[in-house]
Amino acid sequence: VQLVESGGGLVQPGGTLRLSCAASGIIFDIDAMRWYRQAPGKQRELVAVITSAGNTNYADFVKGRFTISRDNAKNTVYLEMGSLKPDDTAVYYCNADVRSRRFQSYTSWWGQGTQVSVSS
């Protein structure tokens, strides 16, 4: 299984970005999908999570600004980021709990990360 993020880049404060993360490989189904971020010198932190049923939860520092969504047919999770602040600068990673076969347990997979920089 491979997770590939895209959509990062440089944006001005107040701007928007949309991140995508597509899972590929031998996939029977995907349970929760998450976005994390890690700023230089800081620990990786959870940004948002979405369950297979579409239930979502957000870190307080992004509530009202970011929206997580997923397309189960495409095995893809998205993160719409708005009202971006310099403090949002970080490498953003997607994470997914994937089952490759029906009676297997779920395994957690990570993407390689995509850089988001917010600066004027």
The pLDDT > 90 percentage for the chain reads: 99
How far is the C-alpha of 21 from the C-alpha of 81, rounded, in Å? 14
Return the structure tokens found at 120: 């004027």
For the segment 9-37, the average pLDDT, to the nearest whole number, is 97
The pLDDT, as a whole number, for residue 67 is 98
Q: Which residues contact 84 (CB under 8 A, 6 or more apart)?
A: 11, 12, 13, 14, 15, 16, 17, 65, 116, 118
In this predicted structure, what is the pLDDT of residue 80?
98
Tokens representing 85 are: 């602040």
Tokens 């959870």, residue located: 46
Residues with Cβ < 8 Å from 108, sequence gap 6 or more? 95, 96, 97, 98
Task: Characterize the bridge pairing of strands 9-11 and 114-118.
Answer: parallel
Burial of 93 (0-12, 13-18, 19+ CB in 10 A): buried
What's the chain's average pLDDT?
97
pLDDT grade for 82, boundaries at 50, 70 and 90: very high
Find the mean pLDDT for residues 66-91: 97
pLDDT digits 0-9 by tens, 28-50: 999 999 999 999 999 999 999 99
Interval 106-115 mean pLDDT: 97
